[in-house]
Structure 1
Amino acid sequence: MDAAARGRDVRQRLLAAAVELIPERGWTAVSTRVLAERAGVTPSVVHYHFPSVAALLDEAVVGFMRGVVGGIDEVLAAAETPAAAVDALVGSVTRYTGSDPMSLLAVEACLAATRDERLRDQIAGVLAESRHRVGRWLADHEVPEPETTAAMLLAAVDGLLLHRSLAAGPDPAATATVLRRLLGADPSTSDAVGEETR
């Protein structure tokens, strides 16, 4: 492995370490030392590859979120109707408990973004991309006001995830029924979410 490949490998290990450590310790407790230990490098290497720990954390979280958003196309491709798309998106919530690493990572990132304008702008860009992807699919399926509808649908999914972390969320199956109604889809056309949550 040449020097450039080794450098890329170290960067990826540091980014992966950050994604693991943020949910475990909390954003502000992730230090140069703990990142270096988790990635198996010396602390000086962290600052060789990144200008600061904050910059490393920002890049790790935004990269992870972009990966999640990239998966939306696959979810939508499997849905033949708007009702099925609602079920698929809402059903994805059932994989998360609110205390799992991904949920905690998202909460920590959003809290950090309230104090970091650059991170806030980057996360806003990722959210805008997710709305665009869903909105484009809804437009192709002749759903009225597709961009606004996509924003509302994704906000509902985000809200379900947040409420699950507080053990206060509504039932995903009931939520899917309401959202299908808002999209003009027959609420009785699918019970996939109900099957997942039973």
Structure 2
Amino acid sequence: MVSPAAERGRVVRERLLKAAVELIPERGWTAVSTRTLAERAGVTPSVVHYHFPSLSSLLNEAATGQMSKMLAGLNELMESAPSPAEAIETMLTSVQEYTGADTASLLFIEAYLASTRDDDLRERIARSAAEFRRRFGEWLEQHEVPAPFETAAVLAASVDGLLLHRGLGLTANDPSAVLRRLLSTSPEEERQCEQ
């Protein structure tokens, strides 16, 4: 049985993480301070450091927690698809809900940028992405897709790129149609491209 104090601590931690997830897209990673975070969560600044070793560790946990949730959702979509083509179609269609200016997109963009200066954050993001690629690669392998792990890596990077580029004005309404056209090239066309 969880003690009342432990439950209160869990609730406060969750409020702090939720506040970070809200503030990062609103203000930008570097503009989130312990004070603004504490105010948003309805606690005193000292409580932030009671629950987390540093502000950056809190921000890292908040951002990578959201990323993991999104990737888990993509895994669920993929695993419910009856074929690899439909899994890819579903993944690409899921990108349409992100504009590049929505809170999820901004959170990811801010986290990616912050990860260029924070080894811990970069490693956390890399682990989440690697886990997604591994699970997707295993699923593709079960469906006898050639080079399943390489395919999973390229498709994951494509989805990531589409999300990032939507914030830069990408207007392709149906990116899966573009990829289908690319994949439908004849063997002769492939040989010409390789030369």
TM-score by length of 1: 0.87
Q: CA deviation at 1:78?
A: 2.6
Residue 172 of structure 2: aligned partner: 171
Cα-to-partner distance string for 1:161-189 (whole Å, 9 max, x where unaligned): 1111010x25252x3134346667xxxxx
In the alignment, residue 139 of structure 2 is paired with which amino acid?
W
1:133 aligns with 2:138: no
Q: Percent identity?
A: 60
Structure with the bigger RCO (C-alpha within 8 Å, sep 6+) is 1
The equivalences for 1:20-31 within 5 A come to: 20-31=22-33
Cα-to-partner distance string for 1:67-96 (whole Å, 9 max, x where unaligned): 111112320133111111111000011001
Choose 1 or 2 for highest CA Rg: 2
Distance 1:101 1:64, change over 3 A: same
Contact 1:82/1:183 (CA < 8 Å) preserved in 2? no
Q: Give the alignment partner of residue 107 of structure 1, picking from 106, 109, 114.
A: 109
Tell me the distance in 1 between the aligned counterparts of 2:91 and 2:173: 10
Structure 1 gaps of 5+ residues are 185-198
Contact 1:103/1:161 (CA < 8 Å) preserved in 2? yes
In the alignment, residue 171 of structure 1 is paired with which amino acid?
A
Tell me the distance in 2 between the aligned counterparts of 1:172 and 1:78: 24
Q: CA deviation at 1:125?
A: 0.4
The equivalences for 1:24-173 within 5 A come to: 24-167=26-169, 169=170, 171-173=172-174
In the alignment, residue 33 of structure 2 is paired with which amino acid?
S
TM-score by length of 2: 0.88
